């Protein structure tokens, strides 16, 4: 094979970030279950702590198994660097941490996972940060919401729970115009269906808990940096552009360029926040990613079949799946998610809230859980669970109205998935 040959996604998902273990020849990435690492000598230790040499110090910062996962996801997303952390929520805080400070704000889409809405509307206030929520289909409103204290724009590629597809190209143009980084949560799409950096994203975040691992065994998060944003240009990001006192005046961006965000996130973010991914979790996710493309193809195929069946069912008011020709977001699929519209969507049940609850209580194949992206088909009533902290108006805006059920379609046989929904709907709407 030519050394300059560009490897396909299906090859990278197996090989990127991993080499046979130099000590044992182990083919699979070992689980390096260790807290600390022995230094060669005092000079080696000093260089590691001064960021003059790359290596391993302490597993709160870096670990070989976790690093292999970060490198693999980075390769799949087409980024310059990446870090892994303890959950998707941790990844969001890690993405914002070098950018924010007291009194600063972000602009966030109204179509976000309920937990993210709560994190941004409530929890980040404790850091002195705030969020403004805007419908990202209204680009003028998005641009108008930016003020002198805004430091980032945040959205999801395929929005949870409705499966809406964000026009990343258009949003990125606004972000470029106002000189701000665009952060895209790519959890629902994965880099197999969408690569946000190719559409102008600065940072990509993942809940590795979902499709990347794919089997409901791990909580984890990943932040991928495109390496393309000029953190020094505007003077708005001093953590990256100005001298860092804890490293004897090192200025991360002037010194490290495209790797500035990644090194800062390790050397400051993980060092002080400690939201570290464990090596066993990283190992499970690495194994899950090896079959990502195979699983996503089946997820998408099943989701399309189920959505088409639901749309024709008289017990259903509407279906939000972007892969349906009737969806107002269908025209974005070929451009933003060319391999499919994902497997996450909602549908409204005639009979409202009560019918949704009865549906949930009568499914047999579906699992009623607060998760998505599993090989199993999953179902939840967002208004009474993941989005219950929101007002009804906020629920409706985020796609989690009281009459709506969210499904994450798994990789079982599509006929069995449909049969389960059919029998449960019969009981729910009798």
Q: Measuring CA to CA, which residue among 223, 224, 219, 225 is closest to residue 277?
A: 219
Greatest alpha-carbon pair distance for the chain in Å reads 75
pLDDT at 167 over 50: yes
Region(s) of the chain under CATH 3.40.640.10? 9-99+181-288
Q: How confident is the model at residue 2 (pLDDT cuts 50, 70, 90)?
A: very low
pLDDT per position as a tens digit, 278-303: 999 999 999 999 999 999 999 999 99
pLDDT at 157 over 60: yes
pLDDT per position as a tens digit, 405-424: 999 999 999 999 999 999 99
259-266 mean pLDDT: 97
Token pair belonging to 85: 């952390």
Token pair belonging to 114: 């309920």
pLDDT of residue 1: 41
Q: What is the pTM of this model?
A: 0.95
pLDDT per position as a tens digit, 174-201: 999 999 999 999 999 999 999 999 999 9
343-350 mean pLDDT: 96
pLDDT of residue 155: 98
Q: Round the CA-based radius of gyration of the chain to a whole number and report it.
A: 22
pLDDT at 226 over 60: yes
Region(s) of the chain under CATH 3.90.1150.10? 292-428
pLDDT at 101 over 60: yes
pLDDT of residue 130: 98
144-156 mean pLDDT: 98
Architecture of domain 9-99+181-288: 3-Layer(aba) Sandwich (3.40)
Task: Give the residue ranges of DSSP H helices in 146-185.
Answer: 168-178
57-79 mean pLDDT: 96
In this structure, the chain runs to a length of 430
pLDDT at 362 over 80: yes
Q: Measuring CA to CA, which residue among 141, 330, 193, 138 is closest to residue 184?
A: 193
3-state secondary structure at position 158? strand
Percent of the chain with pLDDT over 70: 98
3-state secondary structure at position 246? helix
Angle between helices 414-428 and 352-362 (to 10 degrees): 130
pLDDT of residue 3: 57
Arithmetic mean of pLDDT over the chain: 94
As a whole number of angstroms, the distance between CA 207 and CA 370 comes to 13
* Domain 292-428 -> CATH class: alpha beta
Q: How confident is the model at residue 114 (pLDDT cuts 50, 70, 90)?
A: confident
DSSP symbols for 19-38 = ---TTT--SSPP----SB--
DSSP assigned state of 266: I
Please state the three-class secondary structure of 286-345 as a single string: HHHHCCHHHHHHHHHHHHHHHHHHHHHCCCEEEECCCCCCCCCCHHHHHHHCCCCCCCEE
- 81-85 vs 221-225, strand pairing mode: antiparallel
């Amino acid at each position: 094979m030519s050394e300059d040959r560009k490897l396909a996604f299906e090859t990278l998902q197996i090989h990127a970030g991993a080499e046979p273990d130099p000590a044992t020849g182990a083919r699979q990435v070992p689980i390096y279950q260790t807290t600390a690492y022995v230094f060669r000598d005092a000079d080696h230790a000093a260089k590691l702590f001064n960021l003059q040499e790359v290596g391993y110090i302490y597993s709160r910062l870096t670990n070989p198994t976790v690093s292999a996962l970060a490198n693999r996801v980075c390769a799949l997303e087409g980024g310059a660097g990446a870090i892994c952390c303890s959950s998707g929520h941790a990844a969001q805080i890690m993405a914002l941490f070098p950018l924010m400070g007291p009194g600063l704000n972000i602009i966030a889409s109204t179509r976000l996972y309920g937990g993210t809405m709560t994190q941004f509307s409530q929890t980040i206030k404790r850091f002195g940060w705030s969020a403004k929520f805007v419908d990202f289909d209204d680009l003028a409103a998005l641009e108008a919401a930016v003020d002198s204290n805004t430091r980032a724009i945040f959205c999801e590629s395929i929005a949870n729970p409705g499966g809406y597809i964000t026009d990343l190209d258009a949003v990125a143009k606004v972000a470029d115009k106002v000189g701000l980084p665009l952060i895209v949560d790519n959890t629902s799409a994965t880099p197999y269906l969408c690569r946000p950096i190719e559409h102008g994203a600065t940072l990509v975040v993942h809940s590795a808990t979902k499709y990347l691992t794919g089997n409901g065994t791990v909580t984890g998060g990943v932040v991928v940096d495109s390496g393309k944003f000029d953190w020094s240009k505007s003077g708005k990001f001093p953590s990256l552009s100005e001298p860092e006192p804890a490293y004897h005046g090192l200025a991360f961006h002037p010194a490290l360029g495209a790797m500035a965000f990644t090194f800062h996130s390790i050397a400051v973010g993980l060092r002080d926040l400690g939201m570290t991914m464990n090596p066993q979790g990283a190992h499970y996710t690495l194994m899950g990613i090896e079959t990502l493309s195979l699983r996503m193809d089946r997820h998408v195929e099943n989701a399309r079949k189920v959505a088409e069946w639901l749309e024709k069912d008289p017990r259903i008011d509407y279906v939000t799946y972007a892969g349906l020709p009737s969806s107002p977001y269908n025209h974005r699929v070929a451009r933003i998610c060319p391999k499919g519209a994902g497997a996450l969507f909602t549908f409204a049940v005639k009979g409202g809230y009560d019918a949704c609850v009865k549906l949930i209580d009568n499914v047999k194949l579906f699992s009623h859980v607060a998760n998505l992206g599993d090989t199993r088909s999953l179902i939840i009533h967002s208004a009474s669970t993941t989005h219950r902290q929101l007002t009804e108006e906020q629920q409706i805006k985020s796609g989690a109205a009281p009459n709506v059920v969210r499904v994450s379609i798994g990789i079982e046989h599509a006929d069995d998935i449909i049969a389960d929904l059919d029998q449960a709907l019969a009981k729910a709407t009798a």
